[in-house]
Amino acid sequence: MKKLKVVGNNIIRVDGLSKVTGKAAYPADIYMDNMLYGKTLRSEKPHANIEIDVTEAEKLDGVVKVLTYKDVPGHNEHGVLFKDHEVLCEKRVRRIGDPIAFVVAESDKIAKKALKLVDVKYEEIPAVFDPVEAMKDDAPKVHGDSNIIYHYKIRKGDIDHAFEKCDVIVENEYKTQMAEHVFLQPEAGVAYIDDDGTIVVVAATQYPHFDQLEVSEAMGVDIENIRIINPAVGGAFGGREDITLQIHLAMAAKITGRPVKTVYSREESFQAHSKRHPMTMKCKTGADKDGNLVAFEAEIIGDTGAYASWAINVLRKAGVHISGPYEIPNVKVDSYAVYTNNPFAGAMRGFGATQVPVAHEQQMDILAEKLNIDPVTIRMKNMFRLGSETATGQILEESVPLDRCLEEVEKKMKIKENYTGGDNQ
């Protein structure tokens, strides 16, 4: 067998030396001559109609320009799947932290001071923060006519008949919370106009090609006239997949003709980027007396907050994985992505597959206890192997080492040996 160059070898990271020696250039490290500084004014209300007056802010000595929706040269919208974000909000805010104005000034201190002089009049309107309530017909609408933006279904076998044949049924509700990425480097960036007129945005991002497209659409220029430079990235984990400051910087550099820099505080970073989807999961699992799974039914409601981001992908994957790594002949799943006025949710490590084990693994433990079977045995009875069929009908033809993995865990932890069953577990 030919020796592999990478797999099985200790490969030195190309960026490792520069990072451990402090030589790596992150966006916050970048300075340019004649540079301006930008700060974002964000909504203090979760759902409100707004009116904006920047007159007093622009009078402040050292303020070059205060950008609002009126200054967006192209489309005042962006979003990875749905264009439901506004670059700068025009008439309505839908969450605390929505961007309303972008102050450009000679110094960071002046820009901060000018933020307080922007006059925003809020007319608060009913909001909804519970995704279950948001699904109701009479709930306040975040966008359009319905807060339900996606419904994913799995139907396999005859679920009703299957539950009738079960010797034991476990039915519970589980919830996972919103989670923040807390990457080490808060959002930061610099934008400038190159000698040939190209708008250059330097920002840490996970999708420079998406950023290029979204900046070009908002700026109303051909994509060839937008360049995204991705310097060292101080962590991301999904939180840099949506646009934050890139379009604001591009607008400011184009309008002022000078380089413009922005660095978010940790608090602003919390407000600006997406979170992990909180999920409510109702699960019903049935098995025979020997611990063989017979039926599984689940409803998942995912709170995507004020904007969709990757909600369709996340809730689809949650629906696919909610039945766990187990072969079950009868499955019914309904998975929903729902708008609320909460902080918006998007990509975060695992894309929906992270939340659902909280539910399906607890279901397995409770089933094992009710049947007086140790938790390893019940899993080994039902887990995927080569040739297994998933809930979506996929046949697993390769790379299914679950049994070997669990066997190794059992050797180390001696779960079977220590199992006493019932209430002693």
pLDDT at residue 425, as a whole number: 41
How does pLDDT run across 37-59, given as a tens digit for each residue?
999 999 999 999 999 999 999 99
Q: Domains of the chain: which residue ranges? A: 29-124+182-272, 131-179+275-424
pLDDT at residue 417, as a whole number: 79
State pTM to two decimals.
Answer: 0.93
pLDDT at residue 285, as a whole number: 98
Mean per-residue pLDDT over the chain, rounded: 96
pLDDT at residue 422, as a whole number: 58
Residue 217: both structure tokens together: 């659409």
pLDDT at residue 399, as a whole number: 92
**CATH code assigned to 131-179+275-424:** 3.30.365.10
Any idea of the CA torsion for 143, 147, 148, 149, to the nearest 10 degrees? Answer: 20
- CB-CB contact of 186 with 202 (8 Å): no
What does the alpha-carbon distance between residue 229 and residue 26 come to, in Å, rounded to a whole number? Answer: 11
pLDDT at residue 424, as a whole number: 39
pLDDT at residue 420, as a whole number: 77
What does the alpha-carbon distance between residue 29 and residue 14 come to, in Å, rounded to a whole number? Answer: 20
Separation in Å, CA 18 to CA 12, 206, 284, 342 = 12, 20, 52, 39
- CB-CB contact of 201 with 187 (8 Å): no
Q: Which residues does 68 contact at the CB level (< 8 Å), separation at least 6?
A: 52, 54, 88, 100, 101
pLDDT at residue 2, as a whole number: 76
Fold category of 29-124+182-272 in CATH? Aldehyde Oxidoreductase; domain 3 (3.90.1170)
Q: Which residues does 174 contact at the CB level (< 8 Å), separation at least 6?
A: 280, 281, 282, 283, 358, 359, 362
Which segments in the chain show pLDDT lower than 50? 423-425
pLDDT at residue 1, as a whole number: 62
What does the alpha-carbon distance between residue 259 and residue 190 come to, in Å, rounded to a whole number? Answer: 7
